[in-house]
Amino acid sequence: MRDPATTSELPTPALVLDLPAFSANVATMSEALPGERLRPHVKAFKSTALAQRLADAGHERFCCATVKEMEGMAAAGLGADLLLANEVLDHTRLGRLVEAGARVTVAVDSDETVDSAAAGGVREVLIDVDVGLPRCGCEPDDAGRLADRARGLGLEVRGVMGYEGHLMMVAEPDAKAAQVGKAMELLLAAHEAVGGDIVSAGGTGTYAANTWATEIQAGSYCLMDTDYGSLGHPFVQAIRVVSTIVSISAKGWAIADAGLKAFGMDHGNPTWPDGDVFFCSDEHTTLLDPDATLAVGDRVSLIPAHVDPTVARHEQYWVVDGDDRVVDVWPIDLRHW
């Protein structure tokens, strides 16, 4: 059987990546944050093939959310400078990456995570600081003590990390800049006590507002979603889920064969650019089609509201060159843990 040549031949639901849109997003971010000013976040796209294209654009440092991502990046030859921007309590798999020649840095925010890093063979850490998001991170005034503990165990402390994730969706630019500034005041105060060359923070939602961090951990900008798209960023939508209409109701709706298992739903329903989405169920999305514009067998494109968990539900990107012609397939090879 020959490979699909166009999106009309894809098995659905299918995650489709528009190569010109993706390339435009990479170029836009590379101009704003060249080289080491950007540490792309692998959790957003989970593909070493995609990561290689970011490395080719000059971004050779990456951050990851899972040990599996770290292992996959190192195995693909992308382990020059990997940050696990997350706490774990078993660092032995990461220690094996260090032994194999990868540069591995981990986030730590407690005595337990510091001790585990040292015991597991990791040699470099960032002190993760709470800057307002109710998630991981030590109190800013405890960062210096943790850094001292880490150095006492023979670890190199490269600096600090703080994620202002609670500010990603602040829409008004001046309000965003002011709130990000307050969050970064906490991080910079911790950095003064910790030392090191790195102040790592930010994401796609604050990449332009955060002028304090030495590196920004953005990832969603590559592919985008309707949540970030609502903020007026200079990035364009580069992925969609292509689905097939499998049923039509005379009551005014059409059923597509992509449902809850094809989308990250924590930020809401996917969007149908040609009409309204009624609701999603396990394997279906119900589209409102009162004018009967759709027929059984038609293909529709649905735009995810949240890119990261949507990507994790698929095994590959079907890459198209600005139209419906499939030009490549990029495995999504960094899923799971």
Predicted confidence pLDDT, tens digits, the chain (337 residues): 678 999 999 999 999 999 999 999 999 999 999 999 999 999 999 999 999 999 999 999 999 999 999 999 999 999 999 999 999 999 999 999 999 999 999 999 999 999 999 999 999 999 999 999 999 999 999 999 999 999 999 999 999 999 999 999 999 999 999 999 999 999 999 999 999 999 999 999 999 999 999 999 999 999 999 999 999 999 999 999 999 999 999 999 999 999 999 999 999 999 999 999 999 999 999 999 999 999 999 999 999 999 999 999 999 999 999 889 999 999 999 999 9
SS3 111: helix
**Pairwise CA distance, residues 303 & 264, whole Å:** 11
On whether both 82 and 55 belong to a single domain, the answer is: yes
On whether both 189 and 268 belong to a single domain, the answer is: no
Q: What pLDDT, on the 0 to 100 scale, is given for residue 337?
A: 95
Provide the domain limits for residue 284: 7-14+235-331
| Best CA proximity match to 69, nearest among 90, 89, 44, 92 | 44
Residue 199 lies in a domain: yes
Q: What length is written for the chain?
A: 337
Residue 227 lies in a domain: no
In degrees and rounded to multiples of 5, residue 152 shows phi and psi of: -65, -25
Total domain count, the chain: 2
On whether both 149 and 72 belong to a single domain, the answer is: yes
| pTM of the full structure | 0.96
**Pairwise CA distance, residues 105 & 69, whole Å:** 13
**Pairwise CA distance, residues 282 & 279, whole Å:** 10
SS3 25: helix
| CATH code for the domain of 44 | 3.20.20.10
On whether both 256 and 315 belong to a single domain, the answer is: yes
Query: Do the beta carbons of residue 223 and residue 307 sit within 8 Å?
Result: yes
On whether both 151 and 244 belong to a single domain, the answer is: no
Residue 229 lies in a domain: no
H or E element in which residue 280 lies: strand 276-280
On whether both 170 and 308 belong to a single domain, the answer is: no
Q: What pLDDT, on the 0 to 100 scale, is given for residue 1?
A: 61
DSSP-H helix ranges across the chain: 19-32, 48-56, 67-75, 92-99, 111-120, 143-152, 173-194, 226-229, 307-311
Q: What pLDDT, on the 0 to 100 scale, is given for residue 322?
A: 87
On whether both 186 and 240 belong to a single domain, the answer is: no
On whether both 216 and 251 belong to a single domain, the answer is: no
Tokens of 20: 């010109």
Residue 128 lies in a domain: yes
Q: Which of 189, 221, 253 is the last residue of a domain?
A: 221
Residue 317 lies in a domain: yes
Using CA atoms, how far residue 15 sits from 240, 252, 283, 284, 308, in Å, is 6, 27, 15, 15, 12
Q: Which of 192, 221, 250 is the last residue of a domain?
A: 221
| Best CA proximity match to 301, nearest among 44, 15, 50, 46 | 15
* Interacting residues of 229 by C-beta distance below 8 A, sequence separation 6+: 235, 237
Tell me the sheet residues that pair with 256: 245, 285
On whether both 195 and 241 belong to a single domain, the answer is: no
On whether both 40 and 189 belong to a single domain, the answer is: yes
Residue 281 lies in a domain: yes
On whether both 147 and 263 belong to a single domain, the answer is: no
| CATH code for the domain of 252 | 2.40.37.20
Residue 1 lies in a domain: no
**Pairwise CA distance, residues 42 & 294, whole Å:** 37
On whether both 39 and 84 belong to a single domain, the answer is: yes
* Interacting residues of 120 by C-beta distance below 8 A, sequence separation 6+: 90, 91, 92, 94, 95
Residue 228 lies in a domain: no
Q: What pLDDT, on the 0 to 100 scale, is given for residue 180?
A: 98
| SS3 readout for 66-106 | CHHHHHHHHHCCCCCCEEECCCCCCCHHHHHHHHCCCCEEE
SS3 108: strand
Q: What is the DSSP letter of 47?
A: -
**Pairwise CA distance, residues 33 & 30, whole Å:** 5
Q: Which of 152, 186, 221 is the last residue of a domain?
A: 221
Query: Do the beta carbons of residue 317 and residue 47 sit within 8 Å?
Result: yes
